Amino acid sequence: VAWGQDASTPSGPSVLDEIKARGELRVGLEAGYMPFEMRDKRGGIIGFDVDLAKLMARKLGVRLTLVNTQWDGIIPALLTGKFDVLMSGMTITEDRAKQVDFADPYIIIGQSVIMQPKLAATVHGVDDLNKPEYIVATKLGTTGDTAAAQYMPRAQIMKFETEAEALLQVRSGRAHAFVYDLPYNAVYMARNPGTLAHLSKPFTREELGWAIRKNDPRWRAWLNDFLAGAHRDKAYDALYGKWFER
Ligand code: ARG
């Protein structure tokens, strides 16, 4: 730290200056992850992350552009500057933190299991699914994918590009179960009552965080201040209620 500089208020070039200069905040996400980022009936992208992004843009005094990006390539897209911040329900993991910086966690979730209803009599948790005769569907490159490999190493894992494809496998009987973030699974079950069974007790604990490129302490500090402010003025609670408690 140079003379006259305060370690708690980092200085130096930051994407924060670029955002203000261009008058636009670019947020990367993959629409399809309910209720964080998903399509409404008219094709617009809505959700918890989206509302927080809107609030962020308002605080910055700039317009908001959502950059919809496939999950598979979402970290590379951030790294090559396609957007300023990745707000896509991403779990903070050690592996990802080698490539990106995460702001403070904004919500805690866990993995749950959606499965064929006929399994409900015998399968009561992930241990019961850990058998070679079971086919478990996951979304490629997610923590559901790593959790399935870790908790159900004996089962056959089938990875899919999208949540919808993976769940279709369970519905059509080609897979027995789908392992994914509880919030998504809960919305899916509410929207498709009576079709599948849900083991809704989460079996992992995961912190979700917004990701930015490394070496931008000012932008990271801004995001953390924003999040703390949203908690203080209850804007966070209002949005949480809107998206998770209905
Ligand atoms: N939390 C999980 C993960 O980080 C899934 C997030 C998926 N998000 C999305 N927008 N598709 O792997």
Closest by alpha carbon to 155, among 121, 172, 178, 173?
178
pLDDT of residue 2: 47
User: How close is the Cα of 35 to the center of ligand 1, in Å?
Assistant: 11
Cα dihedral 231, 237, 243, 244 in deg (nearest 10): 110
Nearest 5°: the CA angle 22, 27, 30 is 150
pLDDT of residue 8: 59
Ligand 1: which residue has its CA nearest to atom 9?
A: 33
pLDDT of residue 246: 62
Please work out whether the CB of residue 209 comes within 6 Å of at least one atom of ligand 1. no
User: How close is the Cα of 36 to the center of ligand 1, in Å?
Assistant: 10
Q: Which residue in this structure is represented by tokens 């959606």?
A: 114
**pLDDT tens, residue by residue, 187-219:** 999 999 989 999 999 999 999 999 999 999 999
Instruction: Provide the 8-state DSSP code for 116.
Output: -
User: How close is the Cα of 215 to the center of ligand 1, in Å?
Assistant: 24
Fold matches, 15-108+207-244 and 111-199: yes
**pLDDT over 70 (residue 243):** yes
Choose which residue among 66, 88, 243 to substitute to test ligand 1 binding: the one with the highest number of ligand atoms within 8 A of its C-beta: 88
CATH 3.40.190.10 fits 15-108+207-244, yes or no: yes
User: How close is the Cα of 90 to the center of ligand 1, in Å?
Assistant: 5
- What are the domain boundaries of the chain? 15-108+207-244, 111-199
**pLDDT tens, residue by residue, 108-157:** 999 999 999 999 999 999 999 999 999 999 999 999 999 999 999 999 99
Ligand 1 nearest-atom number relative to CA 142 = 12
Name the burial class of residue 218, with classes exposed (0-12), middle (13-18) and buried (19+) by CB atoms within 10 angstroms of its CB.
middle
**Which ipTM value was assigned to this complex?**
0.98
Superfamily for the 111-199 domain: Periplasmic binding protein-like II (3.40.190.10)
Instruction: Output helix, strand, coil percentages for the chain, rounded to the nearest 5.
Output: 40, 20, 40
**pLDDT over 70 (residue 9):** no
Ligand 1: which residue has its CA nearest to atom 12?
A: 142
Any residues with CB less than 8 A from the CB of 227 and at least 6 apart, and which? 103, 104, 106, 236
In the predicted model, what is the mean pLDDT of the chain?
95
